């Protein structure tokens, strides 16, 4: 049987906006985050403390979090290294996420480090975050395929993912960065993580919708007992360092499916659609989400 309730981990302000060519004003980002919270999203990943020349779209991370103040303290933010962690600690933030790669090429492209070298960067970052009492999420990218390397063997994904998680994370999010995964592959990967000793509450899934498979993949993950789903309002998103990555699974599409299945998720769909329609206006292009298009 399927889970009775799930947690939607909203990544629109981070994964969504990191890939927009237009620079979104800080005040618009803050308003977007507040509207997502008001629509009932329990977790809103707010921004990234990465190198500002690597991701200029999120160079105002400190301003966004300072403006949110207490409201933003528990919101997760991406940090790749100790410098990023220090910037988050200065603001009193309580939840960070590291992001590793399951492949050599993407580690080089996204982190300027090799597959093995990335751990030397993450280890002290996670250790210090945990010592400071922070919660840490770990992402692993290219779990289902890599634009440069092609197929990525499941044992390699499990090894890297487990190693990242074991640094001290409370959850591992499995990223289909370029959206090539299909439902059978999702099941196989989740079963391999289960066989390696990870429980369903320690795992989240992070699907990009490049090939239109994200919703089917989410259903496959539900059938495997997963209860945390990453999604982005209106289907915004992509990774500037991954060729061919488009937006995430749209939160609205996910909520529509969950509501139909009677799975509790806490989101007010009308308020969320209203937010995505407003954001599409700010960005000057329509949302790619089918549910937003249908309900708007």
Which residues are the active-site residues? Answer: 239
Distance CA 43, CA 226 (A): 16
The contacts of residue 276 (CB under 8 Å, 6+ apart) are 233, 234, 250, 252, 287, 289, 292
Minimum Å gap between C-beta 264 and Mg ion is 25
Minimum Å gap between C-beta 133 and Mg ion is 27
Minimum Å gap between C-beta 260 and ligand HMG is 26
**Spacing of C-alpha 113 from chain mean position:** 21
Minimum Å gap between C-beta 51 and Mg ion is 18
List strands edge to edge, sheet with 43-44. Answer: 43-44, 7-10, 228-231, 203-207, 171-176, 135-141, 95-101, 77-78, 47-48
> What beta strand segments (E) does 142-220 contain?
171-176, 203-207
Binding segment for Mg ion (CB under 5 A), chosen from 11-19, 57-65, 147-155, 218-226, is 11-19
Binding segment for ligand HMG (CB under 6 A), chosen from 31-39, 82-90, 125-133, 164-172, is 82-90
Distance CA 73, CA 59 (A): 18
33, 134, 189, 239: which one binds ligand HMG (CB under 6 A): 239
What single string gives the DSSP state of each residue in 199-259? -GGGEEEEEB-TTS-HHHHHHHHHHTT--EEEEBGGG----TTSTT--PBPBHHHHHHHHH
Regarding 177 and contact with ligand HMG (CB under 6 A), the answer is yes
Residue 80 interaction partner, one of Mg ion, ligand HMG, none, beta carbon < 5-8 Å per kind: ligand HMG
110 or 276, CB closer to ligand HMG?
Answer: 110
For residues 74 and 95, is the Cβ–Cβ distance under 8 A? yes
Regarding 209 and contact with Mg ion (CB under 5 A), the answer is no
Minimum Å gap between C-beta 111 and ligand HMG is 5
Token code pair at residue 214: 């994200």
73 or 83, CB closer to ligand HMG?
Answer: 83
Regarding 15 and contact with Mg ion (CB under 5 A), the answer is yes
Nearest Cα neighbor of 131 from 185, 82, 200, 182 is 82
6, 43, 75, 111: which one binds ligand HMG (CB under 6 A): 111
**φ, ψ of residue 163 in degrees (nearest 5):** -65, -40
Residue 144 interaction partner, one of ligand HMG, Mg ion, none, beta carbon < 5-8 Å per kind: none
18, 57, 125, 228: which one binds ligand HMG (CB under 6 A): 18
Of 42-61, binders to ligand HMG (CB under 6 A) are: 48-51, 54-55
Number of C-alpha atoms within 13 angstroms, CB side, residue 268?
A: 10
Q: Which residue is nearest to ligand HMG (CB)?
A: 175
241, 257, 267, 272: which one binds ligand HMG (CB under 6 A): 241
Residue 139 interaction partner, one of ligand HMG, Mg ion, none, beta carbon < 5-8 Å per kind: ligand HMG
Minimum Å gap between C-beta 113 and ligand HMG is 7
The contacts of residue 33 (CB under 8 Å, 6+ apart) are 13, 44, 46, 64, 68, 72, 75
Binding site residues, ligand HMG, CB under 6 A? 15, 18, 48-51, 54-55, 78, 80-81, 83-84, 87, 99, 110-112, 139, 141, 175, 177, 206, 208, 239, 241
């Amino acid at each position: 049987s399927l889970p009775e309730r799930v947690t939607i981990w909203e990544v629109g302000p981070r994964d969504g906006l990191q890939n927009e060519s237009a620079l979104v004003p800080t005040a618009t980002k803050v308003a977007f985050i507040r509207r997502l919270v008001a629509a009932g999203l329990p977790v809103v990943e707010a921004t990234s403390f990465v190198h500002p020349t690597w991701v200029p779209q999120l160079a105002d991370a400190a301003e966004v979090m300072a403006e949110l103040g207490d409201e933003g303290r528990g919101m997760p933010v991406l940090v790749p290294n100790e410098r990023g962690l220090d910037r988050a600690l200065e603001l009193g933030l309580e939840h960070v996420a590291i992001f590793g790669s399951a492949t050599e090429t993407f580690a080089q492209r996204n982190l300027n480090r090799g597959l093995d070298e990335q751990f030397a960067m993450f280890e002290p970052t996670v250790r210090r975050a945990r010592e400071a009492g922070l919660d840490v999420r770990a992402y692993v990218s290219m779990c289902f395929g890599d634009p440069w390397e092609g197929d990525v063997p499941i044992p390699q994904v499990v090894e890297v993912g487990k190693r990242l998680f074991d640094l001290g994370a409370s959850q591992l999010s499995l990223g289909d960065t370029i959206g090539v995964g299909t439902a059978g592959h999702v099941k196989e990967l989740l079963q391999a993580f289960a066989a390696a000793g990870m429980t369903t509450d320690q795992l989240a899934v992070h699907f990009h919708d490049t090939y239109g498979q994200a919703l089917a993949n989410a259903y496959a993950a539900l059938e495997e007992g997963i209860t945390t789903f990453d999604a982005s309002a209106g289907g915004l998103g992509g990774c500037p360092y991954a060729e061919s990555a488009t937006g995430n699974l749209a939160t609205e599409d996910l909520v529509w499916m969950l509501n139909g299945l009677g799975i509790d998720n806490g989101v007010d769909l009308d308020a969320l659609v209203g937010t995505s329609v407003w954001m599409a206006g700010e960005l000057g292009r329509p949302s790619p989400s089918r549910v937003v298009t249908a309900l708007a």
